[in-house]
Amino acid sequence: MAGHSKWSTIKRKKGALDQKRGKIFSTISKEITVSARLGGKEVDSNPRLRQAIKKAKSLNMPNSNIDKAIKKGVGDLDNVIIEEVSYEGYGPYGVAILIEAITDNKNRTVADVRHALSKFGGSLGQSGSVSWNFERNGIILIDKKQVSEDDIFEFSVENDCNEFFIDEDFYRLYFNSQDLYNKIDKLEKMDIEIDSSSLAFIPKDLINLSSDENNNFKKFIDFLQGLEDVQNVFSNHNFGES
């Protein structure tokens, strides 16, 4: 019985890991599809697609999956319309929430999001209800080994960088969201490899929660991020405090 119990535990853990891996692949596939639909399938002229493919390959996504996602984006596979949508509202404890999703069925997605918010005591709001408390930024991470501090600082000044941080292993540059892929293109032409890039909503004001509230809020975020169509979740919860 002990051996059977151990095997059951292993199977449950493997199942959870497989599910998480599947969600990650689904998220990246949708990003590739939308990137191809908006900017075309040529990676040389589509930096957003180039970054999405780079991320996919770093996570060992099969090339066949990548190719399929691109073909879906440019309409080579079917007539399904994939589009980006966003929602905003309040999670538990009055924390402001912004949710980005990519979907082929907006009715399904909004129902899933509304259910998740309601389940944890939150509510879906109207457009603009919380977004005023966030700033949209494009974030670029560059390994310190790629370039000297003086050179990357000079680049940040010359290219209207909003904020520049030096972490332990990386330089972290913040730009206006609409400029992100243009800045990536410039860095790549300088032979500076991007470790990662993202578009993020940065909260202007943060809310601190108690330890118990903090744990429950993390469960809420995990639940939201586990939804089929959800790509990104942003909040003004201060994860550094409890």
Q: What is the pLDDT of residue 208?
A: 95
Quote the CATH superfamily of domain 2-73. Answer: Integrase, N-terminal zinc-binding domain (1.10.10.200)
Q: What is the pLDDT of residue 240?
A: 67
Domain boundaries, the chain: 2-73, 82-242
Q: What is the pLDDT of residue 1?
A: 39
Q: What is the pLDDT of residue 15?
A: 52
Domain 82-242 has CATH 3.30.1360.120: no
Q: What is the DSSP string of the chain?
A: -HHHHHHHHHHHHHHHHHHHHHHHHHHHHHHHHHHHHHH-S-GGG-HHHHHHHHHHHHTT--HHHHHHHHHHHTTSS--PPPEEEEEEEE-GGG-EEEEEEEES-HHHHHHHHHHHHHHTT-EE--TTTTGGGEEEEEEEEEEGGGS-HHHHHHHHHHTT-SEEEE-SSEEEEEEEGGGHHHHHHHHHHTTPPPSEEEEEEEESS-B---HHHHHHHHHHHHHHHTSTTEEEEEE-B-TT--
Residue, of 132 and 21, whose pLDDT is higher:
132
Residue 2, pLDDT above cutoff 50? no
pLDDT in tens, 196-217: 899 999 999 999 999 999 999 9
Mean predicted confidence (pLDDT) in 57-85: 86
